[in-house]
Amino acid sequence: MGISGRFIMGAFALFVIWTMVRAWRTGRIRSGVWRFDADDNPFMYALTLAGHAFIVAMFAWTAAGYDPKSFLDLFGLAWFDSFSRGSIHG
């Protein structure tokens, strides 16, 4: 990935971090059209924050110059590559 793409991924990571900090301060997080409050629905609030943390890690990984496939390989999700080849039996 070129330097401009890496810069954009870093900016995305910073934006998502900012939304997570705002969610921790207010106790409310928005994800798409849904809004979860820490008091009303703590499980979905925590799950959404965890999802955002995963996205931050992936954006930071790609901003550092690595590719998304190698990030997914860390978690054993390499089977995504087999879908692009048309076979799930890699």
Give the orientation angle of helix 42-63 with respect to helix 3-26, to 10 degrees.
Answer: 160
Residue 30 has a pLDDT of 81
Which residues fall within 8 angstroms of residue 70, CB to CB, at 6 or more apart?
61
If you write DSSP's letter for every residue of 43-59 in order, what string do you get? HHHHHHHHHHHHHHHHH
Condensed to tens digits (0 to 9), the pLDDT of residues 9-51 reads 999 999 999 999 999 998 888 877 888 888 888 898 999 899 9
Residue 83 has a pLDDT of 56
Q: What's this model's pTM, rounded to 2 decimal places?
A: 0.75
